[in-house]
Structure 1
Amino acid sequence: MTITSRPGARRTGYQPSPGGGRATWRRPRRDRVVEALWGYAFIAPLGLGLAVFYLWPVLQTAYFSFTAWGAFGGHSWSGLDNYRQLLHDHEFGQALVNTLAYTALGLVSIPLAIVFAALLDRPGLRGTGAYRTLFFLPVVTMPVAVAMVWRWLYNGDYGLVNYLLSLVGLKGPHWVSDPRVALFALVVVGVWSSIGYNLVIFLAGMQGIPKEYYEAAEIDGAGPVRQFFSVTLPLLSPTAFFVSVISVIGSLQLFDLVYVMAGSGAAARSNPAFPRLETVVQLFYDRAFVTNDRGYAAAIVMVLLLIIVVLTAIQFRLQRRWVHYG
């Protein structure tokens, strides 16, 4: 039955189709406005919190990056002087190289987490819950505690790592003081700390893959290894993309491990390996809270924010191409 246009049609919400077909129902404008206001009211607390604790500090830091601060507080507009200084700051360049190297080397935790997740996802494996707990323990442990334990393990005189090496006739270096191995020692701690988080995410992704795919692959004669490369890995690409984005952002903001294992200020700079350990966030901390050059520190952290945005955009771009050509 076709409903024709009549004076009460707009008031009741019925809108006749132009071609005389079936009429459609459209809610009155007042109801839609009220529903939108309720929606904004529900998200207002979260939006207010994001604006006060995230957006406003970012805007304030961006403003401070164009200012010069005195030793006793107070600031004045300095324009682009802080950014010009960054271009000629060798220490910032070395810290940026260290941060990017740590980020690149730390990505090894992703394939390791995938392999361990595949092993734990095997049907009939006993003690899966215990294994997951052991892998996840470093994630819920305080980073400062983790750094202090590893600092003791890496001690060149009485550390457990060098003791184990001495049992097989090898002499271990001073891991945190040797510029040749200090960064790699830090990467080992970072991978050990993050692999449990990545493993849990990959386990959830694997358990979301329909079992019918594995059954079809088994009928076609594919063994466990072939199923892993032909079924598991392709279907885990969205999960791997999420983990890679989170890992890169977290690695670029590395601070606590360096602060505890290498120290800060004059004590840290006496360490021969400190130039190979200092990260961008560590340099920001020293400039902001040790030397009180907060304008320059704000410029450092704004450059870091720009690098994170660019790398994240590149990852999203590569993911879209992967999906398109896959």
Structure 2
Amino acid sequence: MKTEEKKTGMSWKVKDWIAGYVFIAPVTLGLLVFYIWPFVQNFWFSFNDVNKFNVTHFIGFENYRQLFSDKEVFQTFGNTLKYVVVTVPVGLFLSLVTAALLNSKIKGKSLYRTFYFLPSVTMAAAVAMVWKWVFNEKMGILNALITSFGGPRIGWLTNPKTAIFVVMLVGLWMSVGYNMIILLAGMQGINKSYYEAAEIDGAGPLTRFFKITVPLLTPTIFFVMITSIISGFQVFDVVYMMVLKSNPAYESTQTVVMLFYRQAFDYGYKGYAAAISILIFAVIMLVTLVQFSVQKKWVNY
């Protein structure tokens, strides 16, 4: 064996080591170029005044001082938090119920799964434009239906009280199908013998669902919850397409990512926008760590 290694010039372990690093090189380079380096650069920009040509001028914590004294930041975080608090639990409930129904013995399950999943793979811009037309105050299908019964036209997207809930509805419509597929995969991984034993003992469908499905599906539910909260804090495209800047309901629907986009690309304050993005990252990380802590306590319990 040693003679063969001397002839080849290197051992099999070294060859495996080189082959492994060659295989992971594309992904590693992609992470470095498109994720890690931009994050490091963005973190550095948050301590600088950056002009349109990315020329930096170090100003220390000035962007963060401005950040925590800016009322618009707190308002947009409030709008974003409202979106997350409503869409995450409602979306999780709807996804769980839908997954449970599609996991049962019904005809055409594959067709139903496809229909429910389609909104998740549709372009957000296209979805936003279709729903914007549906809720249009003058030409919308919904208002046309309401007026046909003698009701008044409602400014769904122009009224600050209703616009945010319309955006939440569209967000739920897009996310439920994706979460449903993940939960359905988790349900199909549960051993059928548990249900058979419970059925023999006389447990009904609801009892089996709450006593078997939900406890064994806890890791999947936590995963869906974490990803839903992260995507909720990052909501941008649907709101940006449905509620224009000239809309009276713009302030009540503007999310923190929209504020970041506007500061960076509309006003050119890239350093301040970088500080906003770091704050978003910190909030998401904090919420995720809290969730993992709760998950450990839940499992131990």
Tell me the TM-score normalized by structure 2: 0.92
Residue 117 of structure 1 is matched in structure 2 by 99
**Gap change, CA 1:86 and 1:161, over 3 Å in 2:** same
Residue 248 of structure 1 is matched in structure 2 by 229
- Select which of 213, 238, 241 maps to 1:257: 238
Shift in Å, 1:50: 0.5
1:230 aligns with 2:191: no
Shift in Å, 1:44: 1.8
Residue 41 of structure 1 is matched in structure 2 by 22
Cα distance in 2 for partners of 1:154, 1:95 equals 23
Cα distance in 1 for partners of 2:74, 2:212 equals 43
Residue 69 of structure 1 is matched in structure 2 by 50
Q: Is the 8 A contact 2:79 2:255 kept in 1?
A: yes
Residue 294 of structure 2 is matched in structure 1 by 318
Residue 304 of structure 1 is matched in structure 2 by 280
Q: Deviations over 1:50-69 (max 9, x none)?
A: 01110000000000011113
Residue 114 of structure 2 is matched in structure 1 by 133
Cα distance in 1 for partners of 2:183, 2:160 equals 34
Shift in Å, 1:172: 5.0
Q: Deviations over 1:126-176 (max 9, x none)?
A: 111111111111111110000001111111122112233345554352111
Radius of gyration: which is bigger?
1
Q: Is the 8 A contact 2:137 2:155 kept in 1?
A: yes
Question: Which structure exhibits the higher relative contact order, with contacts defined as CA atoms closer than 8 Å and separated by 6 or more residues?
Answer: 2
Counterpart residue type for residue 115 of structure 1: V
**Unaligned residue ranges in structure 1 (runs of 5+):** 1-10, 12-28
Residue 159 of structure 2 is matched in structure 1 by 178
Cα distance in 2 for partners of 1:170, 1:103 equals 32
Residue 7 of structure 2 is matched in structure 1 by none
Q: Is the 8 A contact 2:138 2:153 kept in 1?
A: no
**Gap change, CA 1:220 and 1:256, over 3 Å in 2:** same
- Select which of 85, 92, 95 maps to 2:66: 85
Residue 22 of structure 1 is matched in structure 2 by none
**Unaligned residue ranges in structure 2 (runs of 5+):** 3-9
Runs (4 or more) in structure 1 with deviation over 6 Å come to none
Cα distance in 1 for partners of 2:31, 2:225 equals 24
Counterpart residue type for residue 301 of structure 1: S
Shift in Å, 1:41: 2.6
Counterpart residue type for residue 34 of structure 2: F
Structure 1 vs Structure 2: percent identity of aligned residues? 48
Residue 164 of structure 1 is matched in structure 2 by 145
Counterpart residue type for residue 272 of structure 1: P
Q: Deviations over 1:184-237 (max 9, x none)?
A: 111000000101101111111111111100011011110111111111111111
Cα distance in 1 for partners of 2:272, 2:145 equals 45
**Gap change, CA 1:167 and 1:238, over 3 Å in 2:** farther
Residue 264 of structure 2 is matched in structure 1 by 288
1:202 aligns with 2:183: yes
Shift in Å, 1:93: 0.7
**Gap change, CA 1:297 and 1:152, over 3 Å in 2:** same
Cα distance in 2 for partners of 1:78, 1:163 equals 55
Residue 273 of structure 1 is matched in structure 2 by 249
1:218 aligns with 2:199: yes
Cα distance in 1 for partners of 2:87, 2:127 equals 17
SS in 1 for 2:67: helix
**Gap change, CA 1:70 and 1:39, over 3 Å in 2:** closer
Q: CA RMSD in A?
A: 1.9
Q: How is 1:89-100 mapped onto 2 (pairs within 5 angstroms)?
A: 89-100=70-81
Cα distance in 2 for partners of 1:234, 1:62 equals 41
Structure with bigger helix share is 2
Shift in Å, 1:32: 4.1
Counterpart residue type for residue 300 of structure 1: I
Cα distance in 2 for partners of 1:71, 1:136 equals 41
**Matched residue count:** 294
SS in 2 for 1:68: strand
- Select which of 23, 33, 42 maps to 1:52: 33
